[in-house]
Structure 1
Amino acid sequence: MTDDDTSKPPANSASTPDEAGSGVPDAGIATTDEAVASVKSVSSQIHDFIGVPGTASEPGPGVKACPGKDPDTHFQVYHPWNFKPKSGIDNDVAMKNLKEKLSTGGWVIKESYRDNSPNRNFNLLADNDSRKMSVWVVAYSKRATPSLGIEVTSGCYRAPEGETIKHS
């Protein structure tokens, strides 16, 4: 992929930082099940954006504490997964599709760059302010089996009063 990419690590992606200044946007109030469902929905949308045949890994979302917040009342959901196209050449096509789609429908590309690894993998970081979600995609195009590494991360949710956060 040829772009005006730079060699820098991703900045802390966040659109509307929370009051603690962690850079993680406030995503509102939700149970862990509701927040996990929301992140799964975004991961599904990202899968659709890829637009080439292939297989996605199975592990589901996890729940972690929000930086600078009480872990008993606040949490984030993250969903790391991998996509392996049926054809290695489709890895670059998938990244091209993602770059186009992650510039529409509330998505904004925050950064695109080549990392400092020997393969100079292409990285793409995008936020969706209205959904309080971020996605980080890494194209492992020069591996023996090309793939995309994808992580969808939510903003910081506050659990409803009386709800227990199911950390994983």
Structure 2
Amino acid sequence: MTDDDITKPPTTSAGTPDETGSGIPDAGTATVDEAVASVKAVSSQIYDFTGVPGTASKPGPGVKACSGKDPDKHFQVYHPWNFKPDSGTDNDVAMKNLREKLSTGGWVIKDSYRDNSPHKSLNLIADNDSRKMSVWIVAYSERATPSLGIEVASGCYRAPEGETIKHF
């Protein structure tokens, strides 16, 4: 999530891998706008799952090609953002709440580990197979300003016939 962290790559699948073996599941057919709206909705849900007052960073979702697939026909949506609790001591409370909530409502925790950054930050990876979404959360609790690094990623969408995919 940041350049000073050395972490293992997320073992996210967001469901069953597609036929290319990329580990990214087929999320069906959708326009870019529909897919972006779905990822934003999941990000909002994750924000609510923190259960503590705080501020989310402003950058919005991006669109990228799916590995091993035609970039003119397939795309994936990702949304990296940060959550800064109003109180730094709430960072660990938010992570505890996320661990609990990401074990309900179709969410399944796939991995939880401490990375090899200087602060041994806690990482949490969860998938929602029915929504074809995955989230990777890193708790930066030992920093001067504690926060959570969050990235929501979709499965691989197929654009409807005639739709132009804008990668951003």
TM class by smaller structure: over 0.9
- Say whether residues 1:9 and 2:8 are aligned partners: yes
Change (3 A) 1:110 1:29: same
* Residues 63 and 78 in structure 2, CA contact (< 8 A), matched pair in contact too: yes
**Separation of aligned partners in 2, 1:120 and 1:155:** 29
**Separation of aligned partners in 2, 1:128 and 1:76:** 15
Structure 1 equivalent of residue 21 of structure 2: 21
Q: Structure 1 residue 9: deviation in Å?
A: 2.0
Where do 5+ consecutive residues of structure 1 fail to align?
Answer: 1-7
* Residues 108 and 128 in structure 1, CA contact (< 8 A), matched pair in contact too: yes
**Separation of aligned partners in 1, 2:152 and 2:42:** 7
**Separation of aligned partners in 2, 1:165 and 1:88:** 40
* Residues 10 and 111 in structure 1, CA contact (< 8 A), matched pair in contact too: no
* Residues 10 and 125 in structure 1, CA contact (< 8 A), matched pair in contact too: no
Structure 1 equivalent of residue 167 of structure 2: 167
Q: How does 1:152-163 map to 2 (within 5 A)?
A: 152-163=152-163
Q: Structure 1 residue 12: deviation in Å?
A: 3.3
**Separation of aligned partners in 2, 1:11 and 1:33:** 26
- Say whether residues 1:116 and 2:130 are aligned partners: no
* Residues 27 and 157 in structure 2, CA contact (< 8 A), matched pair in contact too: yes
**Separation of aligned partners in 2, 1:66 and 1:115:** 26
Give the AA of the match of 2:134. S
Structure 2 equivalent of residue 48 of structure 1: 48
**Separation of aligned partners in 1, 2:128 and 2:64:** 20
Structure 2 equivalent of residue 5 of structure 1: none
Structure 1 equivalent of residue 60 of structure 2: 60
**Separation of aligned partners in 1, 2:163 and 2:117:** 43
Coordinate RMSD, CA, aligned? 1.2
Q: Structure 1 residue 11: deviation in Å?
A: 4.5
**Separation of aligned partners in 2, 1:64 and 1:75:** 6
SS at match of 1:155: strand
Structure 2 equivalent of residue 4 of structure 1: none
Among all aligned residue pairs of Structure 1 and Structure 2, give the percentage whose two residues are the same amino acid: 81
Q: How does 1:80-91 map to 2 (within 5 A)?
A: 80-91=80-91
Q: TM-score, normalised by structure 2?
A: 0.94
Structure 2 equivalent of residue 134 of structure 1: 134
Tell me how many residue pairs correspond in the alignment.
162
SS at match of 2:77: strand
Deviations 1:1-34 (A, max 9, x none): xxxxxxx724531120000110000000000000
